[in-house]
């Protein structure tokens, strides 16, 4: 559908930008903070790119006021950040660290005083290490009450000041990288354990949402899902079937649980037959049915293209595949491994029509519209784009960063988002990834996403000077005109 005139963005549209605690805060052991699984993992040699860590990151912990002042200058309507669980409850389920809580209290106050809506993410991958050591992390149901306690602490502390809450950031990504590909903590390569841990996160998500609705009746809460639409490589019916499979495997396995309170039927049957289905009790089923998110957060970077999986080995044999050659510094497995070998339902392939970023991520603004349409049609929940952005190498020249390529990327995505709104999708906001440059989990500091350049690299923090890029001033104009120029 092509329109000669697009609908306006809603008048109260939340123009925002996002971040995550581990990627920006630094101060990893200050003011009583406990270690997270990322602190420990990044300190082990060989786990991260060039040995980069979030020990200092961009030192937002000590530059908070300066960063919020830049947000205010830009005119941001919303800022999405995450709370570091181990800063608030250092050992995960014990006493609350008031100094840690106070950092977020000050941040939220600063945001509100500048007219910026806080969007608080409860979990962006930095589990307290103590819970990993004590219980085995997300593989244990013991973590669910610990998460509930942490959530209750934050709900009580911020229920009057924070309206928008995100439960889990990209559950599909952190369980996949942590338990399937083994390039995030806890570095496990076992798809059965991935599905089991993922089920426990589902229960924690549902527990948090239920609790939220009891304690924060005026707030809104939902998970942020790393979503990508799936295309068949060709019109061959076998490829189309592979795309149906991949949509179940990559998307519906999470989205149906969040939005319908149950696992997708065909996929559950397949996993049961393969012995990969997690243990789901009647009480689990009842809990999942009771939790209803108020909105669905969508993180969109790219979709995926698939063809029929020609792997003919039986599943058990395929599961023994050696993943040791998987490049730990890429968010995705290498091309010849980008398939679902343990569950031979499809093969992921490159899309011949799409260009890629310097890090090999396909650039697909139309897929954004496709995805928003598909998800809204299926679940009819308001959507909140909680991440979208371009990772690139930015050069500082004469004190300025000319990131026209980022402007082009974001403008194309905003355009298709506006088309999706015109189609009828209910969108409440858009948080670009990211506000400042920050640590890329597995790519260090060279891969930059921010509107604000931060003077540091993989070797060290340098001056940590904040320098607005060209895209900063562009987004400032977009916000000022509520996207009318798109
Ligand atoms: C998302 C995460 O998956 O992608 C962010 O929520 C992350 O935390 C972003 O930084 C970009 O990934 P990367 O690997 O390019 O830093």
Q: Taking residues 388-415, report their average pLDDT.
A: 97
The end-to-end CA distance of the chain, in Å, is: 17
Active site residue 110: no
Give 178-228 pLDDT, tens digit per residue.
Answer: 998 888 999 998 889 999 999 999 999 999 999 999 999 999 999 999 999
Predicted confidence (pLDDT) at residue 120 exceeds the cutoff of 50: yes
**Candidate list 117, 342, 387, 419, residue with the active-site label:** 387
Mean pLDDT of 261-275: 92
Model confidence at 314: pLDDT above 60: no
Residues 6+ apart with CB under 8 A from 31: 87, 97, 99, 100, 103
Per-residue confidence (pLDDT) for residue 144, from 0 to 100: 98
Atom of ligand 1 nearest to the CA of 169: 6
Beta partners for residue 429, in sequence order: 14, 384
pLDDT at 338: 45
Report yes or no: 197 and 137 within 8 Å, Cβ to Cβ. yes
Domain map (residue ranges) of the chain: 14-480
Active-site residue identified among 117, 170, 342, 362: 170
**Rama region for 460: left / alpha / beta (φ>0; ψ in -120 to 50; rest):** left
Residue 387 falls in the annotated catalytic set: yes
Are 172 and 226 spatial neighbours (Cβ–Cβ below 8 Å)?
yes
The region of weakest confidence among 46-60, 316-330, 333-347, 404-418 is 316-330
Cα 450 from chain centroid (whole Å): 16
Determine the Cα–Cα distance for residues 21 and 5; give it in Å rounded to an integer: 40
Q: Which two tokens stand for residue 123?
A: 């979990």
Of the given ranges (214-228, 250-264, 318-332, 346-360), which has the lowest mean pLDDT? 318-332
Choose which residue among 49, 170, 441 to substitute to test ligand 1 binding: the one with the highest number of ligand atoms within 8 A of its C-beta.
441
Whether residue 103 is predicted with pLDDT greater than 60 in this model: the reply is yes
Name the nearest CA neighbour of 348 among 364, 365, 333, 326: 333
- CATH of the domain spanning 14-480: 3.20.20.80
pLDDT above 90 (res 232): yes
Query: Is ipTM > 0.90 here?
Result: yes
Q: What is the mean pLDDT of residues 446-456?
A: 96
Percent of the chain clearing pLDDT 70 (strictly above): 93
**Number of residues in the chain:** 486
Average pLDDT, the chain: 92
String of b and e for 201-219 (b: at least 16 CB within 10 Å)? bbbbbbbbbebbbeebeeb
DSSP string spanning 312-364?
-S-HHHHTT---TTS-TTSSS--GGG-B-SSS-S-EEE--TT--B-TTS-B--
Q: What pLDDT does 311 receive?
A: 58
pLDDT in tens, 124-150: 999 999 999 999 999 999 999 999 999
* Distance separating alpha carbons of residues 110 and 123, to the nearest angstrom: 22
Is 50 exceeded by the pLDDT of residue 265? yes
Is the pLDDT at 295 greater than 80? The verdict is: yes
Predicted local distance difference test score (pLDDT) of residue 334: 43
Task: Report the pLDDT value the prediction gives residue 343, as an integer from 0 to 100.
Answer: 66
148/350 Cα distance (integer angstroms): 41
Give tens-digit pLDDT for 144-172: 999 999 999 999 999 999 999 999 999 99
Q: Indicate the pLDDT class of residue 341, thresholds 50, 70 and 90.
A: low
The predicted model gives 93-122 an average pLDDT of: 98
Q: Quick check: 326 pLDDT over 50?
A: no
Encoded tokens for 144: 């669910």
Whose CA is closest to atom 13 on ligand 1? 440
- Decide if pLDDT at 318 tops 50: no
Instruction: Give the pLDDT score at 219.
Output: 98
**Ligand 1 neighbour 386 (Cβ under 6 A):** no
Binding site membership of 176 for ligand 1 (Cβ less than 6 Å)? no
Give the model's pLDDT for residue 342.
61
3-state secondary structure of 123: strand
Q: Answer whether residue 324 shows pLDDT above 50.
A: no
- Tell which one of 24, 49, 125, 387 to mutate to probe ligand 1, the residue whose CB is within 8 A of the most ligand atoms: 387
- For residue 55, give both structure tokens: 């020990």
Which of 18, 178, 331, 332 to mutate to test ligand 1, by most ligand atoms within 8 A of the CB atom?
A: 331
């Amino acid at each position: 559908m092509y329109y000669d005139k697009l609908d306006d963005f809603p008048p109260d549209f939340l123009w925002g930008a996002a971040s995550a605690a581990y990627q920006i805060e630094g101060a990893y052991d200050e003011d009583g903070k406990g270690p997270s699984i990322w602190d420990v993992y990044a300190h082990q040699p060989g786990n991260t790119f060039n040995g980069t860590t979030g020990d200092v990151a961009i030192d937002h912990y000590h530059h908070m006021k300066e960063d919020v002042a830049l947000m205010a200058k830009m005119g941001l309507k919303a800022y999405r950040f995450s709370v570091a669980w181990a800063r608030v409850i250092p050992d995960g389920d014990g006493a609350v660290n008031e100094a840690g809580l106070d950092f977020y209290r000050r941040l939220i106050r600063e945001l509100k005083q500048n007219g910026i809506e806080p969007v608080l993410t409860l979990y962006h991958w930095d589990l307290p290490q103590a819970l990993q050591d004590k219980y085995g992390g997300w593989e244990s149901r013991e973590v669910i009450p610990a998460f509930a306690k942490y959530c209750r602490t934050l709900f009580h502390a911020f229920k009057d000041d924070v309206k928008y809450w995100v439960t889990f950031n990209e559950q599909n990504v952190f369980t996949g990288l942590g338990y399937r590909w083994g390039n995030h903590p806890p570095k496990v390569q076992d798809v059965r354990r991935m599905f089991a841990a993922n089920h426990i996160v589902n229960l924690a998500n549902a527990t948090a949402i239920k609790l939220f609705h009891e304690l924060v009746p005026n707030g809104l809460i939902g998970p942020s899902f790393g979503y990508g639409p799936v295309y068949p490589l060709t019109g061959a019916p076998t490829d189309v079937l592979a795309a149906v499979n991949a949509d179940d495997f990559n998307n519906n396995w999470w989205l149906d649980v969040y939005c319908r309170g149950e696992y997708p039927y065909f996929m559950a049957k397949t996993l049961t037959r393969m012995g990969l289905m997690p243990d789901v009790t009647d009480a689990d089923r009842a809990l999942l049915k009771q939790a209803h998110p108020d909105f669905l957060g969508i993180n969109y970077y790219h979709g995926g293209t698939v063809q029929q999986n020609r792997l003919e080995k039986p599943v058990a044999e395929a599961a023994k595949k050696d993943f040791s050659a998987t490049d730990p510094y890429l968010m995705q497995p290498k091309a010849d491994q980008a398939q679902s070998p343990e569950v031979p339902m499809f093969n992921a392939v490159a899309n011949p029509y799409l260009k890629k970023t310097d890090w090999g991520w396909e650039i697909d603004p139309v897929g954004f519209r496709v995805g928003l349409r598909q998800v809204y049609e299926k679940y009819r929940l308001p959507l909140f784009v909680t991440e979208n952005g371009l990772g690139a190498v930015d050069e500082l020249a004469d004190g300025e960063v000319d990131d026209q390529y980022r402007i082009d990327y974001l403008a194309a995505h905003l355009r298709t988002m506006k088309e999706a709104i015109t189609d009828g999708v209910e969108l409440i906001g858009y948080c670009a990834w990211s506000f400042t440059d920050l640590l890329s989990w597995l790519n260090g500091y060279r891969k930059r996403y921010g509107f604000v350049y931060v003077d540091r690299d993989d070797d060290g923090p340098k001056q940590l000077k904040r320098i607005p890029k060209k895209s900063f001033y562009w987004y400032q104009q977009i916000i000022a005109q509520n996207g009318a120029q798109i």
